[in-house]
Structure 1
């Protein structure tokens, strides 16, 4: 979903200390953190309308070493509080999506700028919250149309795939499942993606279920998070669902 056109792609992995449920604090360092990421490819057969098996085209892994006695592996930089590594690969896709080429780069570390972006973004979130809460299906369809059109293109949806997608998005004709209520926005933080061209608000209460997921959530028998990535076109003040 993140590949918008053919060419060289870069995958960057950032590692930070994990949360300790016993002490209810972040670990002081990365300790024995071990992270692996696989980039996989599946080809779609338009005749048979089926996907091929996944093929790993890139494997990334944090550096580890093996203990010759225990035969266990461990991270070679346990004292660090941050470790970043990346790798590149070439992707060939049959589409060229230019949306983010016309989006503002919003990334910043300035606290005042982050506060300003967050406040502006909350306006868009509140509008969507109302649509979900009041089950305004027609407005919901308008809201997600361009996003879903792009999704269908990137995932090579067939007609049957598109019908299944509608069933996933609407349960018994409802945006929010019967018996579920939209939750208020609280304990959240701003997060950047796509080199600052995509922004989102994520739930950020340490140690709680749903942390780092969309702050747009509902609660019933369980909790459900909803898609909420936004961009701001160049020369515009409006946040649009990506």
Structure 2
């Protein structure tokens, strides 16, 4: 999930941007794409899948804003772990949200995640990386919620539970596994059609960028950021929300 505190300076910055989708910023946010060693099967490669995590390094990712991935993001036994032992405000010291080097438009993303007891994180997509305008990825990109539904306070809020399109659509049925167990998450985005799958079950489906989408955003906390949910392509982020979280088997197929 995102922080609910709205900073006046951030709001003013966001309101100054126009509200058209698929925008291009004057800021230079280009990032070189680092090749990633594939962990895929031959069949997956034939199907067009590409690995986004080699199980050994953070190649293919950078900290939101362009810096290298911080030391709190550790690779351990083929798993990407955000080590939350040293807090810094509401995030982790030398952590922060990390984003893919490459932007994606029509895609099918698959990964496995595991959250700590009472933990919170998220998978964010269609991110426009321009920190001069947007301090955090969630100011532009929609999110698939990662949460411990049994313990975290957000689980009491409709549209804030694991698998939800955060603050927009409640996922159903509930298929999330308990904290410290692996979940298979999938996000499919193609020509405006958005689908979430959790542990093999479709839990969210909607159409982006139409009048219904705009109305839904207007009724959410994201109404404070006029550019939220307007971009038709962008980077993918793994969120630092101040808790231990683990990711593995991250792969994507462009559609």
Q: State whether TM-score is above 0.5.
A: no
Please identify the structure whose Cα radius of gyration is greater.
Answer: 1
| Higher fraction of helix | 1
Higher relative contact order (CA 8 A, sep 6+): 2
TM-score, with structure 1 as normaliser: 0.22
